Structure 1
Amino acid sequence: MKDLEKYGVFSKEVRPALFDYLPIDWSTVFGNNNGIIVEIGFGSGEYLQSYAIKHPEKNFVGFEVSITSMKKAHKRVESLENVRLVITDARFGLREFFGPKSVEKVIMNFPIPWDKKSHERRRVIVPEFFETLSNVLVDGGTFELATDVEWYAKQTMETAKEMGFEVVEFLENPDREIKTRYEQKWIKYGRNIYSLVIRKVKHIEIERLIGGRHEMPHARSVVAEEKLPLLHNKVFKEGKKVVVVKGVYKSTGNDAYLIKVISSDGEFQQHYYLVAYPEEPGSKEWIIKLDSASNPYRTPAVKWSVSVLADFLSSEEEQGK
């Protein structure tokens, strides 16, 4: 496992931002070519643990956004060689970390339905999600949803059909092979459970934000240092890319600056830092690059943040060339 740390694998946690190349070569991560099953929102990990134990011939990748859930699940699956965990937005992770036709099955257990109109953008199950499924699932691969919200299950089924998927089954109160802890509790109290299974029928190509070498962007610029404080609260926009500077901090030890940035590629948002410093002491030419400690995914907006800030900071003489 220590040998894999250089690739961004730490025990059961995979950190794709540390990988040199995306999508991930999961055969290297797991050390085999077994089929992959993905669970979106693994919670405390009891379902993922049970499924992986029952099917040692498969590899399992779980997505979560909660660090607390990651810690709980990590303890559950620590001894299982066929499980890996990732902290990130699953809509982003499924699209960016898996290549075409690389996943056998995707599972979602009791996601938050986000029923309010203002919360729609938070839903995982939207047309763009099915486009991703149509790419990353193997031919005939499946997506399974379990929920206690009837309208959500039916809406998912209708959206899936509109996106070209085949409905394998839609059941009320199914006898599922593995049940989550909350599912067992709800069944005990007579709450209805709905299960949907759909199958990929056609393959489509999709556009990914990241692909190929996952390089660290940087820029060189003749900087007018007096412009650095002017970056605070500055907003830059280009197409779907948005960059907002939230803070500019000068080092007390040298001429370096730390710049706090929020960037968005559509709905996917990241918080990170850039550093700006003279290439040599007293030099007018500066380097602007990502701070390695924050290490965001090098999406188009992240790469653009480096170049657009370098352009903004350029001196009048440099801009006039």
Structure 2
Amino acid sequence: MRLRKIKNADEILQNSSIVIKNAEMNFGKWHSYFQNQNPIYLEIGMGKGKFIIEHARRNPHINFMGFEKEPTVICKALRKIDDSINNLKIICDDAENLDKIFSEGEIERIFLNFSDPWPKNRHEKRRLTYDTKLDIYKKILNNNNKIELKTDNRHFFEYSLMQFNKNKFTFSNLSLNLHEDYDDIITTEYEDKFKEMGKQIYYVEVSYGKNETL
């Protein structure tokens, strides 16, 4: 189903205090921006925001950032954020620009939820677990880092496992049926639909030992 665009989406984003404009101006200064030293968790491709909003609500001691390139989708997320949440900000940009916005070691955790699998071989470079993307994650993650990936696409999951292994990430958790293995899972909108359909959700946690490469 095609996304019905909101005509004044750009104006809504421009007027929102939750959406960060000119995010690259805060390069290397994100803790100053949040006015605290709390860890920063980043969801790349946050969609309509259910996952990251609930995380922010449950974890006020963590700074959350949602990264999403579609203005209309961000508008839908903004409708769900109430005044009680003050530890969540959103950036409207493409993942290709992450290392222009975040400097080395600014991010503690990255969430990759139901990323576009780009199944055709000629589109491999667009996948969020392609080599160049993983190199960016290595750079912006700190020493206590973790990446969490969820997907319903078995091929993309297996591809990502191979990519993480090739790029020397350490595996700490893996599930071939997340909702059978765990309770109290914070879900995305897509995930809720897939769960109702009885689809398996694949999950993996990895980290990158930055000090080991020095």
Once the 2 structures are TM-superposed, how far is the Cα of residue 177 of structure 1 from its aligned partner?
2.4
- Write out aligned runs for 1:273-292 (5 A): none
Name the CA distance, whole Å, in 1 between partners of 2:173 and 2:144.
14
* Residue 48 of structure 2: aligned partner: 44
Cα distance per residue 1:77-109 (max 9 Å; x no partner):
25221011001112312x121121111100011
Asked which structure has the greater CA Rg, the reply is 1
Checking the alignment, whether the CA contact within 8 Å between 1:60 and 1:84 is kept in structure 2 is yes
* Residue 246 of structure 1: aligned partner: none
Cα distance per residue 1:187-243 (max 9 Å; x no partner):
2221111001101112599xxxxxxxxxxxxxxxxxxxxxxxxxxxxxxxxxxxxxx
The one-letter amino acid of 2:22's match is: P
**CA RMSD of superposed structures (Å):** 2.2
* Residue 186 of structure 1: aligned partner: 194
Once the 2 structures are TM-superposed, how far is the Cα of residue 9 of structure 1 from its aligned partner?
9.7
Checking the alignment, whether the CA contact within 8 Å between 1:134 and 1:204 is kept in structure 2 is no
- Write out aligned runs for 1:89-238 (5 A): 89-93=94-98, 95-174=99-178, 175=182, 177-202=185-210
Say if 2:4 is the partner of 1:28: no
Checking the alignment, whether the CA contact within 8 Å between 1:9 and 1:15 is kept in structure 2 is no
Once the 2 structures are TM-superposed, how far is the Cα of residue 130 of structure 1 from its aligned partner?
1.4
Name the CA distance, whole Å, in 1 between partners of 2:108 and 2:187.
20
* Residue 310 of structure 1: aligned partner: none
Name the CA distance, whole Å, in 2 between partners of 1:160 and 1:121.
15
Summarize the Cα distance change of 1:195–1:106 in structure 2 as closer, same or farther, 3 Å threshold.
Answer: same
Find 2:17's aligned residue among 11, 33, 49.
11
SS in 2 for 1:56: coil
Name the CA distance, whole Å, in 2 between partners of 1:202 and 1:164.
10
Once the 2 structures are TM-superposed, how far is the Cα of residue 74 of structure 1 from its aligned partner?
1.7
The one-letter amino acid of 1:57's match is: H
| TM-score of the aligned structures, taking structure 1 as reference length | 0.57
Checking the alignment, whether the CA contact within 8 Å between 1:59 and 1:82 is kept in structure 2 is yes
Name the CA distance, whole Å, in 1 between partners of 2:30 and 2:24.
14
Structure 2: where are the runs of 5+ without partners? 1-13
* Residue 87 of structure 2: aligned partner: 82
Structure 1: where are the runs of 5+ without partners? 1-7, 206-321
| TM-score of the aligned structures, taking structure 2 as reference length | 0.84
Once the 2 structures are TM-superposed, how far is the Cα of residue 143 of structure 1 from its aligned partner?
0.5
Larger strand fraction of residues: 1
Larger helix fraction of residues: 2
Cα distance per residue 1:227-269 (max 9 Å; x no partner):
xxxxxxxxxxxxxxxxxxxxxxxxxxxxxxxxxxxxxxxxxxx
Name the CA distance, whole Å, in 2 between partners of 1:155 and 1:86.
27
